[in-house]
Amino acid sequence: MRVLASAPAKIILFGEHSVVYGKPAIAAAINLRTYVEAELRDDKKIRIEAHDIKVPGLTVSFSENEIYFESDYGKAAEVLSYVRQAIELAMEEAGVRRGINVSITSQIPVGAGLGSSAAVAVATIGAVSKLLGLELTREEVAKLGHKVELLVQGASSGIDPTVSAIGGFLYYEKGNFEHLPFMELPIVVGYTGSSGSTKELVAMVRRRYESMPELIVPILNAMGKLVEKAREVITSELDEEEKFAKLGELMNINHGLLDALGVSTKKLSELVYAARTAGALGAKITGAGGGGCMYALAPGRQREVATAITIAGGTPMITEISREGLRIEEVMK
């Protein structure tokens, strides 16, 4: 038996990093996906083929409760840890241990702030649990995806796996989410081409928080209030033009606060200013930062902003919100 599942990338519109400290955040799934195919094997081995990660397939085998890695590359085990933990948790949930092949292909740039880790975890849990005969709800998959991120990163708010599993446009706070009214968002994502590790960036913010709480706590509180304001705007009766103008202003404030936390880079800020100069109403980092992506809100100016991002040395992507989260694409007997 074989199962093919997919899960989307996300952008955080407001509230990354502060969400790790229990503040709310707003995020949306976007139409870039990770595809995971899982099939049963006749032996007890687990084989992971990660086509988008620049390490060859890694073979993991286990007998009883011991797991053995076989790889020529020391880094392979670490880089596949999200997939490995996702397989482990799905098997634990199903209460069975089987040999399986897992094959991953992804449209999501890795370490770019677009939630590639959450999408790969969610799609893997979706495919493996279905393969083992479990019918998990999307909420259950989101919770397991959060566990995967906690195990691998040490800290995670759970927003990325929740958005990837559920899809659409969400307000998230401390493990709970609510759907926001669907809006077509005229956004442009700008990729710096370099990657940041969420685990390391979250740890860096934590060190600052612990060494200078009197400065960092007010920044995190301001981010939380800003997200509340953004929700008020999104759910208000204002017309679209007024909503976009207010959201743009809040995005710019959020970017400044993220810069103060230390997660921006020269390239990210260059892309942010290039987008604003080309007519975006707002532009900010999205995701963990340290490289990765920014996004701009640019009603009627998406093409101009995309060109400005290219001239500034970034790669623009014009994306849409994906209403659908985790999807079981195919079950082959």
Ligand X SMILES: Nc1ncnc2c1ncn2[C@@H]1O[C@H](COP(=O)(O)OP(=O)(O)OP(=O)(O)O)[C@@H](O)[C@H]1O
Ligand Y SMILES: C[C@@](O)(CCO)CC(=O)[O-]
Which of 129, 91, 115, 119 is closest to 34 using CA atoms?
Answer: 119
CB of 19 to ligand Y, least distance (A): 5
Q: Report the site for ligand X in 84-113 (rule: CB under 6 A).
A: 104, 106, 110-113
Asked whether residue 113 is marked as a ligand-binding residue, the answer is yes
Beta strands in the chain (DSSP E): 2-14, 25-40, 46-50, 58-63, 66-70, 100-106, 169-173, 176-179, 187-191, 282-286, 293-297, 315-317, 327-332
Nearer to ligand Y, 199 or 231 (CB): 199
**43, 160, 239, 259: the active-site residue:** 160
- First-to-last alpha carbon distance for the chain, in angstroms, is 5
CB 92 within 8 A of CB 54: no
Is 110 annotated in a binding site? The answer is yes
Question: Which of 34, 157, 162, 195 touches ligand Y (CB under 6 A)?
Answer: 157
How many residues lie near ligand X (CB under 6 A)? 25
Residue number with the smallest Cβ distance to Mg ion = 117
Cβ count near 300 (within 10 Å): 11
Q: Is 167 annotated as a binding residue?
A: no
Residue 145 near ligand Y by CB under 6 A: no
Q: Which listed residue (124, 198, 264, 302) binds ligand Y by CB under 6 A?
A: 198
Count of chain residues binding Mg ion (CB under 5 A): 2
Q: How many Cβ atoms are within 10 Å of 330's Cβ, its own excluded? A: 12
**Is residue 38 marked as binding?**
no
Contact set for ligand Y, span 251-310 (CB under 6 A)? 287-288
Strand 46-50 versus strand 58-63 pairing type: antiparallel
111 binds, among ligand X, ligand Y, Mg ion, none (CB under 5 to 8 A by kind): ligand X
Contact with Mg ion (CB under 5 A) among 18, 117, 162, 322 = 117
Catalytic, 160? Answer yes
271 binds, among ligand Y, ligand X, Mg ion, none (CB under 5 to 8 A by kind): none
What's the rounded Cα separation, in Å, for the pair 191 and 251? 17
Residue type, 248: G
Question: Active-site residues: which are they?
Answer: 160
